[in-house]
Each structure stands twice: as structure tokens, then as C-alpha cells.
Amino acid sequence: MASRAIASLLVSFGMVSIPVKLYAATQASAGVSFNLLHRTCGSRLRQQYVCLKEDVIVERADMVKGYEFAKDQYVTFTPEELTALGEKATQTVEIDEFVPAESIDPIYYDKAYFLGPDKGGAKPYALLVESMRQTGRTAVGRYAARGKQYIVQLRPVEGGLVMQQLLYAPEVRSIADVEIPETPVREAELGLAKQLISQISTNTFDPTKYDDEVKKRIESAIERKLEGQEIAVSPSAPESGGQVIDLMEALKASLAKTSAKRGKAPAAADETAAEPKPAARKAAKKVADEPAPRRKVSKRA
């Protein structure tokens, strides 16, 4: 079934305006959604807001939004005030710059949309897509909708354009906030890890290889309940504490397991990957440096 456009836009590219249509690129409805019901009678529940001070239900008409500037102290805004402060929708994506595709860290990616050419926009649309593809650049610009201003990236994909909504810099935390101790990596461990990566590497990512197993289990349980079957719930196993593992042994076992899966013999690097201990190295060097013992020659009488 053909996708239905959710908006019509203009992409401003220098002095060129490209009419495009906006399409949803993802669907949240792919998951299984549930409604909250009253346990005793099975009726749907309605959400209500209760005033913490007066303990009364507050209707939406009596609500205002407030910003807490100090403990339990708020500055309030009416819906009209917030609307006036919001960004006016222009229905235009204004391209500010072109940057290398790899210069945008995927951590900044938010929602994604497809862009398709609208009436009269096929030729300039194709020109923009092909020029970005050949230069290895993507477009970064601004787009206003629903009272907000968004940073967006336009990037060419097989068959067309994706408009990727981006996060603002303050919305992305730094990994420097995460405590990661400096840890040396041994060459032997690194060699085995690289072998393991090589064994389970592919040249392309195929998302169809991965299924939502939780969704499948829930849908199966729904079907069984509709048929009147009961679902047995087994008690969850207690969580065990942190397990100390031998990294070299774990890597070797992983290599053996992946080799068996693929019907290959394990790589012969297992014996050479393990580093000899310092004492063993010293002893081996001593033996190598010592002159070979002379064989005694018996004299004949």
C-alpha cells in the first residue's frame, strides 16, 4: 500500500525551491499496545489530574503550565502565551550548509522522515539527491513545525531522500561523564578478539535477520488467551552476582563456538595467542643462550 504524505514542504537550496512531500519513515504501531483497565469489571480507565493542595480533580480548562524556578515556586504561562512564544511554521526546510556524511555522529539522530518530490519538483529533487551522492555531502538546515524549530539533515539513500531530525548539542551528553578506567589490552587477547570479530563479520547490515521476539511471545499469548487457554507463569530465576571470567578462556571458547556454528575448524592461533609467562620466557632464553654440551668421544685402546 502506498504511503500517505503527512505534509507538503519546500526545500530551499540556494535560489532553488524544491516542492516535496513528507512521509513517516518509521511506525510506532509496530509494537503491541495495551490499555489500562479496571481489574474488577474490565472497563477502560480515564486519566485525571488531582490538585495536591486541595485534593480535588482539576479539569483541563483550569490548568496552566508552570516553570519551577525554586522549590515549589512557579512562574506560569497560559496556552496563548506559549503559542505566541513558539516558532511559526513556514513549511520550508532551509538548507544552511553541506557537510560530509560521516561528520554527523549518529548519536544526534532523532526521528526520520522520507521526502518525495511533489508536483513540479522531480527534476530539482533528482539534482539535489545526485549532487549530494557524488560529493559525499549531506545537507543540514532548519525546519519549523508544531511551534518548535528543528535541526534536520537531508541525506541521500537508495531511491530518494531522508530528512533526519537531529538533537541539539545540549540534548546530547558527553561520554566524558561516564567513568571508564584506563585498562591496558594484551596483544594475545587483542589477537583472539580480532579473530572473533572476523569470524562473525558481514559486509552489510540486514535488519530482516532480527525479529522482535518479545512481540512474538506477546502476540502468541494473546492468541492463546483468546482461545480460552491459561498461561503458566514460571518464577524467574534469582539473579546471580557478578561472575569473574578468564578473558583468554572466554575468547577461545567463543572462537570454538562460532567455528562450530559455521562448520569450520577453530583457528590455529590459539596456541600462539597465549603469551608465555615472564619466568618461562627467561628460562627459554637461558637455554637458547647456553652452548650445546659436547659429546664425549671414547678413545680406543
pLDDT 10s digits, 163-203: 999 999 999 999 999 999 999 989 998 998 898 888 888 89
Question: Which pLDDT band, with edges at 50, 70 and 90, does 280 fall under?
Answer: very low
Strand pairing of 49-50 and 57-58?
A: antiparallel
> Do 46 and 33 meet the contact criterion of CB atoms below 8 Å apart?
no
Residue 291 pLDDT greater than 90, yes or no: no
- Residue 130 has what pLDDT? 95
- Residue 231 has what pLDDT? 79
Q: What is the DSSP string of 251-296?
A: HHHHHHHHHHHTT-PPPTTHHHHSPPPHHHHHHHHHHHHSPPPPPP
Name the least confident of 26-40, 217-231, 240-254, 269-283. 269-283
Q: How far apart are CA 220 and CA 250, in angstroms?
A: 36
Domain 7-26+88-171, CATH number (from 3.40.50.9100, 2.40.290.10, 3.20.20.80, 3.30.70.2740) = 2.40.290.10
pLDDT tens digits, one per residue of 46-57: 989 999 999 999
Q: How far apart are CA 5 and CA 76, in angstroms?
A: 37
Question: Which pLDDT band, with edges at 50, 70 and 90, does 27 fall under?
Answer: confident
> Do 33 and 130 meet the contact criterion of CB atoms below 8 Å apart?
no
pLDDT tens digits, one per residue of 4-16: 898 999 998 888 8
Residue 98, number of CB atoms within 10 A of its CB:
17
Residue 47, number of CB atoms within 10 A of its CB:
5
Q: CA geometry: angle at 144 spanning 138 and 149, to 5°? A: 85
Residue 274 pLDDT greater than 80, yes or no: no
- For residues 87-101, average pLDDT: 88
Residue 278 pLDDT greater than 80, yes or no: no
Q: Say which DSSP state 60 is in.
A: G
Residue 114 pLDDT greater than 90, yes or no: yes
pLDDT tens digits, one per residue of 213-244: 888 888 888 888 888 888 777 776 666 555 65
- For residues 10-32, average pLDDT: 85
